[in-house]
Structure 1
């Protein structure tokens, strides 16, 4: 097998990894208005912008000032991360985790399709029910399915163990904005006060959510 050959340069672009990394975060800080973001969540916001490519994300960001300290303390104590989607779980950088934390996603468990069919809901929502034995003090990350976030909130209303923190950023056109508003209103409406971060509206997704987890896991950008 012959060695690959680098093509001739036809475009001017930065191609050194460390330089791209540094310039990216410098650009985000230069172009984003972070004034309204709690100090404890500033690096979280920067990483979420980095994961989405949207500097106006801060306009819709709702970040509890307790979120990062609470979630980081939980991870340092060995808590697992519970993810609604495989893409969220795979986006977590293992080297950033402070205690070799488990990153769990039960979407592909054998019982999930049957539960979803019996309950008339999505597989992602059904998989959230399998979180219950791991939920107490965990860090929850929902970046895909609004039904998963609604299902989690309903479990908590019904008395499920409380996680240490919720990263709730499902994406989509049906239920995404509504599920995230339910998270914003959750403490006021149900008296269950859990630190959280979310993004109002339709925006969200796996990359944004795993970026938030990576920021929580380690302070360094």
Structure 2
């Protein structure tokens, strides 16, 4: 049996996991500004910055005033987490979940390819329709596909059950900014007031979204 040995130290760097973690969060709190966010959303913002490496993220972060309590209450009550991408789902830290919540992604469901083909849409959007039986009171996490967020909003406009909270942070150059603007305008334009968090513009992504989920799952950093 081969015994692995650590290579000789050639660089000066921090390699203690707990120290790295603590130093990272201290750096974020030192460099970022949290003005304009709900007070209870600071931990959410810190984790989203940690997941993206972008301290200026707060400038584009929009958090509904009831997002944090609504999402935490839902998760503590056992609500499922519905994800648009497997990368979002796998980024959730299971040990932080307060009620062993189901973390679900239907992207690889065998029904999805036919739905996407029949509806002339993306697989990500088609998979969102399979959320409907679990949608009422759920926590939704969209971190990849703008079409998934648009599809969810269209379902809500057509009378689908309302989730407890929406993390809508799809990333990209086509439809990302527009889908997130539609989310922020949902209450004003259509009277559907679902607590949400989003990031204006093109930024977003699975890591950022799963980081937000981990912040909502447990208050402690």
Q: Aligned residue for 2:85?
A: 85
Q: Which runs of 5+ in 2 are unaligned?
A: none
Report the Cα offset of residue 27 of structure 1.
0.1
| 1:194 Cα deviation from its structure 2 partner | 0.4
The corresponding residue for 2:69 is 69
| Equivalence for 1:137 | 137
Which residue of structure 2 aligns with residue 179 of structure 1?
A: 179
1:38 paired residue number: 38
With normalisation by structure 2, the TM-score equals 0.99
**Distance across 1 between alignment mates of 2:175 and 2:23:** 36
Rounded to whole Å, the distance in 2 between the matches of 1:17 and 1:36 is 32
| Deviation sequence 1:73-123 (CA, Å, 0-9, x none) | 001001000000000000000000000000000000001000000000000
Give the aligned partner of residue 162 of structure 1: 162
Partner of 1:23: 23
Equivalent position SS for 2:185: helix
> What are the Cα deviations for residues 157-182 of structure 1, in whole angstroms up to 9, with x where unaligned?
00000000000000000000000000
The alpha-carbon deviation at position 71 of structure 1 amounts to: 0.3
Q: Which residue does the alignment assign to 1:194?
A: 194
Q: How many aligned residue pairs are there?
A: 221
Secondary structure of the residue aligned to 1:23 is: helix
* Runs of 5+ consecutive residues of structure 1 not aligned to the other structure: none
Q: Which moved more, 1:203-212 or 1:3-12?
A: 3-12
1:39-61 deviation per Cα after TM superposition (whole angstroms, max 9, x unaligned):
01110000000000000000000
SS in 2 for 1:68: helix
- The aligned residue for residue 118 of structure 1 is 118
Q: Tell me, what secondary structure is at the counterpart of 1:56?
A: helix
**SS in structure 1 at match of 2:197:** strand
Query: For the residues of structure 1 that align with 2:36 and 2:66, how far apart are their CA atoms?
Result: 15
Give, in angstroms, the shift of residue 185 of structure 1.
0.5
TM-score, L = length of structure 1: 0.99
User: Which residue does 2:212 correspond to in 1?
Assistant: 212
Are positions 1:102 and 2:105 aligned together? no
Q: Secondary structure at the match of 1:141?
A: strand
CA contact (8 A) 1:40 1:65 kept: no
Cα RMSD (Å) of the superposition? 0.5
